[in-house]
Chain A
């Protein structure tokens, strides 16, 4: 079965501080992992996919198969990063994507 766990409901950091949003998953096959973000009054949108290994808005995420984790990191948080972040796992073949409960990031001035 697929499962995604985001242990923190709320994460509060100061502007300029590093931020790490945790995501752990459970899946017996070869997973595809994603981070989605929802800014205030906007649609849920794709932030990044593990397979593309890109950095978007300064965020990166590395898939650690040994620890079954896909944590989202940014070295210096900005106020505009305040949003709801969801980790998502897609099964092999990709026709079912499940989401974690989400972490609300609040970046304080």
Chain B
């Protein structure tokens, strides 16, 4: 079956612009999480969506937002980009039943560079 698909793979944006990243989870996975990965901070949790609802959120400013659609696909948006937003953004999907967490399947990421 197809894995987690993230588009685009690479993006270069200018400070002040906004960007939207897309993630298609594995078929049947209703949970989608987003992470920011940088060499200095490692993997930082952004948010997790389940059944179109944001269930939890990390310590990021309000410029970072996301949503999930009825087909479980998810998008994240970053507005008013700053140089420090340059990072690899990872999406992960998970099969969930009740509160059970079966672990994540990760996408290959979107590399965002802000200049």
Stretch from A19-27, A65-73, A97-105 at the B interface: A97-105
Which residue among B43, B45, B107, B108 has the maximum number of chain A CB atoms within 10 Å of its CB?
B43
Interface of B is mostly: strand
CB <8 Å contact, A97 and B104: yes
Q: A11 interface residue, CB < 8 Å from B?
A: no
How many residue pairs link A and B with beta carbons under 8 A? The number is 52
Stretch at the interface among B16-24, B61-69, B76-84, B93-101: B93-101
B interface size (C-beta, 8 A):
25
Q: CA–CA, A92 to B100, complex, Å? A: 9
Residues in B with CB closer than 8 Å to A36 are: 103-104
Task: Give A96 to B50 CA distance when docked, in angstroms.
Answer: 11
* A34 proximity list for chain B (CB < 8 A): 103
A96 touching B101 in the complex, CB below 8 Å, given contacts A43-B107, A45-B106:
no
Distance, CA A88 to CA B39, complexed state (A): 17
Q: How many residues of A contact B (CB 8 A)?
A: 22
Taking a contact as CB atoms under 8 Å apart, the answer to whether A97 and B45 are in contact is yes
Quick one: closest A residue to B55, CB to CB? A95
Q: Cβ of B42 and Cβ of A90 under 8 Å apart? A: no
Add 15 more A-B contacts to A36-B103, A44-B92, A94-B99 (CB < 8 A).
Answer: A43-B3, A44-B106, A49-B103, A94-B101, A95-B48, A95-B50, A95-B55, A96-B48, A96-B56, A96-B58, A97-B101, A98-B45, A99-B35, A99-B43, A102-B42
